[in-house]
Amino acid sequence: MDKNHQERKNEEQIQANKEAWGKISKEHYENFKVQLADKDFKLNPMVEKELGDIRGKKILHLQCNTGADSILLARKGATVTGVDLVPDNVYYAGKLAEDFGMKDLQFIEADVLKLMEIHEEEYDIVLTTDGVIGWLPDLDQWGRVISHFLKEDGFFYLHDGHPFMMIFDEEALDRGELDPRYPYFQMTADYDPMIGGYASDAKEAGNYYWGHQFSTIINGLLKGNLYVTYLKEYDRCVVGMGGSKADEKGLWYYPELEGKLPVVFSLKAEKKR
């Protein structure tokens, strides 16, 4: 496939994702409004611990959805700019911030990969977490975008599904079985007819997901002159899946697979000086 054809296909698939995510914006807003009203609603504990003290920090939050995590980051004293592809996500993120009287937040509608075309500012932290890189077809461009917005002494933070875990059939995992359904080395997107399910009911809306290799992530960061300074893998995560159990800290794991598979990972990266 030539480069132009590939780019057009990526555009079409991103457009499908934009429409699909838009179908659950309102439900996410309503759900997160209830959760944010609860004082015990917190950031993902792994993210919170690894980020450390963010008071006074200027954060660029990529793929912020309807802004729930952006608000939690702002509650910890950061000034946050959230970015999301979907107009309704950005609208509802602003509304959520307003509902909770939060002022240190702004939200921008953009494809992360094109953010440099419409935004110009530097940040102490560029952050993206929980269900993000699989929506982006080009992690080389992603690395360049992150680097562009990062201050010389800032850091990038990522917490997401582990690429190795992404190869397994979800329903088999729910039964504690491993069925390698999505080839690790596949470069094209997988189609899913359903969207959502973690903060809304799953809805019918075709979407595309790129299951990247670990090397693609690291190489993308290197393209942006970003060097990994921290890397950690976990066998459990914050979202409960069918067949998983919660541990004493409220993190979910598959009992049959405990300690056997990497489920999520975190990394920090800095610009090489």
Is 236:257 a contact under the CB 8 Å cutoff?
Answer: no
Of 34-42, 83-91, 150-158, 171-179, which part binds ligand SAM (CB under 6 A)? 83-91
Judged on CB neighbours under 10 Å (0-12, 13-18, 19+), 39 is exposed
Coil/strand/helix, residue 26? helix
- Minimum Å gap between C-beta 134 and ligand SAM is 9
Closer Cβ to ligand SAM, 65 or 81, answer by number:
65
The yes or no reply on residue 132 touching ligand SAM (CB under 6 A) is yes
Closer Cβ to ligand SAM, 148 or 227, answer by number:
148
Closer Cβ to ligand SAM, 162 or 178, answer by number:
162
The yes or no reply on residue 13 touching ligand SAM (CB under 6 A) is no
The yes or no reply on residue 270 touching ligand SAM (CB under 6 A) is no
Report which of 152, 214, 205 is spatially closest to residue 15, judged by C-alpha positions. 205
Amino acid letter for position 13: Q
Distance CA 90, CA 81 (A): 11
Residue with token string 């917490």: 159
The yes or no reply on residue 111 touching ligand SAM (CB under 6 A) is yes
Q: How far is CA 53 from CA 57, 75, 164, 213, in A?
A: 9, 12, 30, 31
Question: What phi and psi, each to the nearest 5 degrees, are found at residue 230?
Answer: -155, 135
Q: Name residues contacting ligand SAM, limited to 24-63 (CB under 6 A).
A: 63
Report which of 193, 200, 210 is spatially closest to residue 20, judged by C-alpha positions. 193
- Minimum Å gap between C-beta 174 and ligand SAM is 19
Closer Cβ to ligand SAM, 26 or 177, answer by number:
26
Q: How far is CA 196 from CA 24, 140, 204, 206, in A?
A: 7, 27, 9, 11
The yes or no reply on residue 69 touching ligand SAM (CB under 6 A) is yes
Exactly one of 73, 84, 126, 156 binds ligand SAM (CB under 6 A); that residue is: 84
The size of the interface with ligand SAM (CB under 6 A), counted in residues, is 21
The yes or no reply on residue 141 touching ligand SAM (CB under 6 A) is no
The yes or no reply on residue 263 touching ligand SAM (CB under 6 A) is no
Of 82-90, 119-127, 140-148, 252-260, which part binds ligand SAM (CB under 6 A)? 82-90
CA atoms in the 13 A half-sphere facing the CB of 36: 26
Give me the sheet containing 79-84, strands edge to edge.
105-109, 79-84, 58-62, 123-129, 150-161, 264-271, 226-234
The yes or no reply on residue 64 touching ligand SAM (CB under 6 A) is yes
Exactly one of 36, 73, 97, 136 binds ligand SAM (CB under 6 A); that residue is: 136
Contacts with ligand SAM, residue ranges (CB under 6 A): 14, 17, 21, 63-65, 68-69, 84-86, 89, 111-113, 129-132, 135-136
